[in-house]
Structure 1
Amino acid sequence: MNGHVRTRLILARHGQTDYNREARLQGQVDIPLNAVGRKQARALAAAMVEQEPDVIVSSPLARAHDTALEVGKACGIDVVVDEAFLERGFGPWEGLRGEEIRSRWPQEHALWREHRSVPGLGIEDRPDVARRVADRCHQLMAENTGMTVLVVGHGAATTLGITELLGLDTDTFRGIGGLQNCHRSVLEPLYSDPTGERMRLVSHNIAPDFI
């Protein structure tokens, strides 16, 4: 590592919920894990024992927090709740399926599908979400140098955060696939970056039972 102390960031998505199963947009609605999601969380916990995280942080929403608690219990680590890792807010679209959104808000839905700002509905812009996730990740890494930090969050917010952490344009870049339930990605600082801000993606969308 050329004299550098390795600091590692693991970003995991929560387990499955009924809204996931029904293809409903969750956003910041507080939906619990379903039976499949709880099983996925236990699988993630078993894998994380082998990864030995030093710090576990989660979104305050129950689906993420309960997933993180499973990992914390298995690893013997307390979970810290942080609102920076909330899912992207989708305003009145939360709880709806794609076809419902498209039929009621056709113009706004088209903008959203084009990854453009949607005015007037209280939907968080992609760059805003990306920055709040990435900024907090940078802080956690700085506070825990040489350690492994696990963050349990949500699909949209985490993917946008990864895009920002890699120094990519969160408005236009679409090359990072979304995390599946209880899948995880691993990032490390890019030591060749003189700004100290950019990271490299070591692995992406790792299954919960992969050790």
Structure 2
Amino acid sequence: MSSAAPTRLVLVRHGQTDYNRDGRLQGQVDIPLNETGRTQARAVARAVAQNPPDLILASPLGRALETARTIGEACGLPVSTDQALVERGFGQWEGLHSDAIRARWPQQLADHREHRRVDGLGIESREGVAERFAASCLRHVGENPGQTVLIVAHGAAITLGITELLGLHTSEFRGLAGLENCHRSVLEPLSADPEGRRMRLLSHNLSPDFT
């Protein structure tokens, strides 16, 4: 039996922002953590530091980067950023409550909730987000075999990325709950996949203080 260390991918959603608290669609608007979010970031940092990763990457959006840097400080690790890890772009809907979106774009919102493509509003496709996020994860994992790669990013991007990494259809599969703020999931490469493009989910939506 091989004694080599396993390769692991840990995906962490950023801490709470005022947009999260108020139910606004965030997307790629660069909203900072609020005090609750900073408390959450410190909690997940303490938990992660009990079994620290080998490297930390983050979306460059401030809420993810601050969360990652809090984890990095606890683990004694620097943080690098990758633009491919940003949240899904929601175009004209960013910053709005669902009631406002429903009032102005009822059909488009219905299509969105049924995972149908919405054109003309600047909304990034599910497939596009899944492909860019998963490709980034696979690249960083592939460059660091036998190590634990921790990535701090965003709810929609992480959910779509995991779906893609599991080999599931991003427009049809709905069985994966989204991560809550500062919750995390753990994956590892799927040894049965000869192309190295699939992973398996070891744990999902672990709370910030889970060690």
TM-score by length of 1: 0.98
Tell me which amino acid in the other structure corresponds to 2:172: T
Quote how far apart the aligned CAs of 1:3 are: 6.4
In the alignment, what sits opposite 1:113?
A: 113
Q: Deviations over 1:99-156 (max 9, x none)?
A: 1101011111111011111011110000000000000100001111000000000000
In the alignment, what sits opposite 2:185?
A: 185
- Residue pairs, 1:159-170, within 5 angstroms: 159-170=159-170
In the alignment, what sits opposite 2:11?
A: 11
Q: In 2, distance between residues paired with 1:172 and 1:128? A: 15
5+ residue gaps, structure 2, are none
- Residue pairs, 1:1-211, within 5 angstroms: 5-211=5-211
TM-score by length of 2: 0.98
Q: In 2, distance between residues paired with 1:200 and 1:38? A: 30
Quote how far apart the aligned CAs of 1:2 are: 5.1
Q: In 2, distance between residues paired with 1:38 and 1:52? A: 19
5+ residue gaps, structure 1, are none
Q: In 2, distance between residues paired with 1:3 and 1:124? A: 42
Q: In 1, distance between residues paired with 2:32 and 2:38? A: 10
Q: In 2, distance between residues paired with 1:4 and 1:148? A: 13
Quote how far apart the aligned CAs of 1:197 are: 1.2
Tell me which amino acid in the other structure corresponds to 2:40: Q
**More displaced stretch, 26-35 vs 192-201:** 192-201
Kindly tell me the number of residue pairs found equivalent between the two proteins: 211
Tell me which amino acid in the other structure corresponds to 1:70: T
Q: In 1, distance between residues paired with 2:55 and 2:72? A: 9
Tell me which amino acid in the other structure corresponds to 2:69: L
- The percent identity for this pair of structures is 63
Q: In 2, distance between residues paired with 1:3 and 1:210? A: 26
Quote how far apart the aligned CAs of 1:6 are: 1.1
Q: In 2, distance between residues paired with 1:175 and 1:26? A: 23
What is the root-mean-square deviation in Å for CA atoms of aligned residues?
A: 1.0
